[in-house]
A and B are shown apart, each in its own frame.
Chain A
Amino acid sequence: MILDLKEKKATRQSYGEALVELGKSRDDIVVLDADLSTATKTKLFAKEFPQRFFDIGIAEQDMMSTAAGFATCNKIPYASTFAVFAAGRAYDQIRNSICYPNLNVKICVTHSGITVGEDGATHQMLEDISLMRTLPNMTVMCTSDDTQTKWAVKEITKIKGPVYLRLSRYETPIIYDENTKFEIGKAIEIGEGTDATIIATGDVVAEAIKAQQELKQQGIKVRVLDIHTIKPIDTEAIIRAAKETKKIVTIEDHNIIGGLGSSVCEVLAENYPTKVIRMGINDVFGKSGTAEELMKYFKITAEDIIKQII
């Protein structure tokens, strides 16, 4: 059930809290960080389980390969840093030491997208979905709220292989009530509108729902697909939306090249050719500003979605 979107929490916070719960129930979980545990919230786990927390220092490449070493010995390592320092700086380690040997490493990154805010372009990772989803064996997830993130942090232990979980610094509305059922690889379908479908992922799913609610006032019935699993993607839900609704809009806090929009286009081009409007960061780097200012600047707010649909 969808909540009223009034309460907010950043998914990095949900991650930190869920890790502590996971640590209580499983002793094969170890957590690695690269001097950012205050920001990634792994410090919550570190405080509770100091013997199973490893601060590898400002050495993300070392952290990824060390996590691989843990995984070869049957631990389940959760390795955390900012998205740009994982998928970017440590790409080769993720490729060769984690994905190729199909090791059970959970790469949980925070500070994805332009909603990082004031730190600016160097810290705003806009290419990670693209980089991570081309790696064989990798599952790619990007969760949209507190409830979904807490589910995902635990659920990914059931996958015997690498997972990239993309999280946010930005405080976004809590969308789902705690009884909501999620399934890896299955989109959440919100509403049954037939005028348009907004396919969204991560911290802009709330914007899609706000647009849906606003459009409803104007008599326009919109469906929202929350794609928390980008790989493997829910082809069935996407094809059905293309068949049943008049317009397809994708939105992501990521470059429109290679991310969610591209994934949706691949599915539709092969199965049910449909025009797709891709919203997101249009092949440019980010900039400094508050998250709210940047979302307006890069046109990824509910108002921008409404303009595309009307």
Chain B
Amino acid sequence: MKITDIEELRKIANNVRKNIVEYVYKAGSGHPGGSLSSADILTVLYFNQMNINEKDCKALLRDRFVLSKGHCSIALYSILAQRGFISESELNGFRKIDGILQGHPDMNKITGVDMTTGSLGQGLSVANGMALTSKINHDGYRVYCLLGDGEIEEGQIWEAAMTSSKYNLDNLCAIVDYNNLQINGTIKEVKGLDDIEGKFKSFGFNTIVVDGHNMQQLIDGFETAKITKGKPTVIIAKTIKGKGISFMENKAEWHGKAPNKEEYEKAIKELS
């Protein structure tokens, strides 16, 4: 399944956003802000880019995806539901005692999750291990890793960046969901983090900056990454936290809270 029609991709992303809002509301907790900012990135990956098959989710030669910013699990679960890896009814169990969809992704419980994540900063290293395996086996599969912009304050990300670069992992593509907000404020306020592109460039990455809500720019970015040889690529996707819901957009407070009934109904209306 490869969808190239931009309108079609937008519709899917909109459904993903509806799922995010609905199931965070039903769970009474979760992380809507960063999930909404990454919905378009995930849609392009799962419907246009990645070589995956919902009928053979453990296929050895499939492309891999690591959600390093594991708290945005509901975005991943929603895209997996849209793509047919999990049933939509399973989304009802999100964060519930009798459900399989844990607060953070668990590869042993959920079909289609390639790596268990949750503790920030570890996903890029894991993706390196996958990409190295692909290289030494000559398997040819690609590995994608979605990072939060706040997440890259973790030092391990930069340890991993050196490794990606040392081994010339051109089958690795990291994506930074650059929505500029973390729990305590902007990334500049919290840690003085700036010039993300310059930092990755100096670590040996091919860098591509795109509008993370523009499907065509995302597709073009991933295609450029594929033909870039000898070095890893990072796509710095400029996004809006809470994208698609007017009262959640660019508000740090929506990082990790559920909407109430009124807010939920308003949000769904905006997406309809």
- Give residues in A with beta carbon < 8 Å to B: 30, 51-52, 54, 56-57, 59, 61-75, 77, 92-93, 95-97, 100-102
Contact = CB atoms under 8 A, between A and B. Distances in A.
B51 to A, nearest CB: 15
Interface in B132-164: 132-134, 136-137, 155-156, 159-160, 162-163
A101 B115 contact: yes
5 contacts: A59-B156, A59-B160, A62-B156, A74-B133, A96-B117
Given A62-B160, A66-B126, A73-B129, A52 B136 contact: yes
Given A51-B136, A75-B133, A96-B119, A69 B108 contact: no
Interface residues of B, number: 35
B130 interface: yes
Contacts, number: 110
A301 B159 CA distance: 41
Given A96-B119, A97-B125, 7 more contacts: A62-B156, A63-B125, A73-B130, A74-B133, A93-B122, A93-B125, A97-B126
Most buried by A among B60, B119, B134: B119
Contacts of A57: 159, 162-163, 166
B128 interface: yes
A21 B86 CA distance: 43
A70 B133 contact: yes
A65 B166 CA distance: 16
B252 interface: no
Interface of B: 60, 64, 66, 106-108, 114-119, 121-123, 125-134, 136-137, 155-156, 159-160, 162-163, 166-167
B111 to A, nearest CB: 15
A68 B119 CA distance: 14
A64 B129 CA distance: 10
B162 A69 contact: no
A232 B127 CA distance: 31
Nearest to A34: B159
B203 to A, nearest CB: 13
A150 B75 CA distance: 47
Given A57-B162, A62-B156, A101-B108, A96 B126 contact: no
A77 B130 CA distance: 12
A96 B133 contact: no
Nearest to B137: A73
Contacts of B166: 57
B163 A96 contact: no
Contact of B130 (A59, A69, A95): A69
